[in-house]
Amino acid sequence: MKDGIGKNYSSIINKESVSGIIRYLADNGEAHNVNLKGIVGNHYRLHNTMEALREAGLIDMEFQTTPKKVYRYWLTEKGKEIAKKLEEIEDIIKEP
């Protein structure tokens, strides 16, 4: 979405649950798809969000098919930088 001047406000950060996913990965190091379902709540949205995060260079992922289908996710260096900034923002929000 753009304003009248042409600045683009569309971002991966606008996607539902992105900050929660990034913060979870920062706190836990990695996650499987089942760990993140509680944050996103829906497999389809989780898959789309994780794919968008991967395309943005914020996460890496691994897919395993046996013994059952499992995705494993972790933050890239760029993702870790974003996680630090999100933590700073949370700290500002919590300030009295």
Q: Give this prediction's pTM.
A: 0.85
Q: How many angstroms separate the Cα of 59 from the Cα of each of 4, 44, 70, 78?
A: 33, 18, 16, 8
What is the predicted pLDDT for the residue at 2? 57
Burial, 6: exposed, middle or buried (Cβ in 10 Å; 0-12, 13-18, 19+)?
A: exposed
Kind and range of the H or E run holding 38 = helix 33-40
Task: Label residue 1 by pLDDT band (50, 70, 90).
Answer: low
List pLDDT tens digits, range 4-24: 566 778 888 888 899 999 999
List domains and CATH numbers for the chain: 13-94 (1.10.10.10)
Q: State yes or no: pLDDT of 93 exceeds 60.
A: yes
List pLDDT tens digits, range 34-64: 899 889 888 889 999 999 999 999 999 999 8
What is the predicted pLDDT for the residue at 4? 58
Kind and range of the H or E run holding 63 = strand 59-64
Centre a 10 Å sphere on the Cβ of residue 40 and count the other Cβ atoms it contains.
21
Task: Label residue 3 by pLDDT band (50, 70, 90).
Answer: low
Top pLDDT among 38 and 85 is at 85
Q: How many angstroms separate the Cα of 5 from the Cα of each of 1, 9, 10, 12, 13?
A: 11, 11, 14, 21, 21
Average pLDDT, the chain: 90
